[in-house]
């Protein structure tokens, strides 16, 4: 969701240095070889293997799903009986056997659309790879990142079955410790992870919360 222009109006994402890093990135090359839509597939694979997130036939909600590489991993690893609900404000080509809702999850209307697609069912795993449109102002971007994570946590606290797991991306910085404490109120175990596929310069981290408490 990141914008391609910084506040000064100069292009930054697709400059020569970025392009060189992108085309030589081993995760980009491996994603292309395996047919994943983006390199972020490997972030989910590492998180899932480290924290035992997957089992065949489970039900999952993937927030911030576009372009769909996490859904590809889910479909591969969970089998044809799994139920996958993908959500993003951006359009995405859905995969066979999954449901895609194009909506702004941060709006009341978007949340209602997700809840309508989910129905009364509770799920086993909620994933959130949502990220804000970046302004280039660290304090603003951090606040937006935490806000999206809080929305995902609020959703997970009601959509997950007791014992279900939650994974959410946000940035290192102000509000992270408070958010971790909020997550710990709902789950038995809470971990901070930075997958190897996350670029070193990136401030992104993932909170992995295991076993939602039954309250």
Which positions are catalytic? Answer: 169
Instruction: Please give the C-alpha separations between residue 122 and each of 53, 117, 139, in angstroms, as whole numbers.
Output: 16, 12, 35
Instruction: Please give the C-alpha separations between residue 57 and each of 77, 136, 200, in angstroms, as whole numbers.
Output: 9, 41, 34
Q: Are 121 and 151 in contact (CB under 8 A)?
A: no
d(CA 200, CA 129): 18
Angle of helix 138-159 versus helix 176-184 axis, rounded to 10? 10
The torsion region of residue 187 among left (phi > 0), alpha (psi -120 to 50) and beta comes to beta
Q: Which residue has the tokens 């990142």?
A: 145
């Amino acid at each position: 969701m990141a914008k391609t222009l910084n506040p000064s109006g100069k292009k930054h994402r697709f400059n020569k240095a970025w392009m060189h890093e992108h085309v030589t990135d081993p995760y980009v090359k491996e994603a292309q070889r395996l047919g994943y839509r983006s390199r972020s597939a490997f972030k989910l694979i590492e998180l899932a293997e480290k924290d035992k997130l997957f089992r065949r036939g489970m039900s999952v909600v993937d927030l911030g799903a576009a372009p769909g590489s996490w859904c590809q991993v889910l479909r591969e690893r969970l089998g044809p009986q799994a139920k996958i609900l993908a959500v993003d404000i951006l359009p995405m080509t859905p995969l066979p056997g999954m449901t895609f809702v194009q909506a702004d999850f941060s709006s009341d209307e978007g949340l209602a659309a997700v809840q309508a697609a989910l129905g009364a069912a509770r799920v086993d795993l909620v994933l959130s790879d949502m990220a804000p449109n970046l302004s280039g102002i660290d304090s603003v971007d951090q606040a937006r990142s935490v806000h999206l994570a809080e929305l995902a946590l609020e959703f997970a606290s009601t959509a997950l079955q007791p014992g279900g797991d939650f994974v959410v991306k946000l940035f290192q910085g102000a509000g992270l410790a408070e958010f971790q404490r909020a997550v710990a109120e709902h789950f038995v175990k809470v971990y901070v992870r930075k997958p190897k596929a996350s670029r070193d310069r990136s401030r992104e981290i993932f909170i992995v919360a295991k076993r939602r408490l039954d309250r």
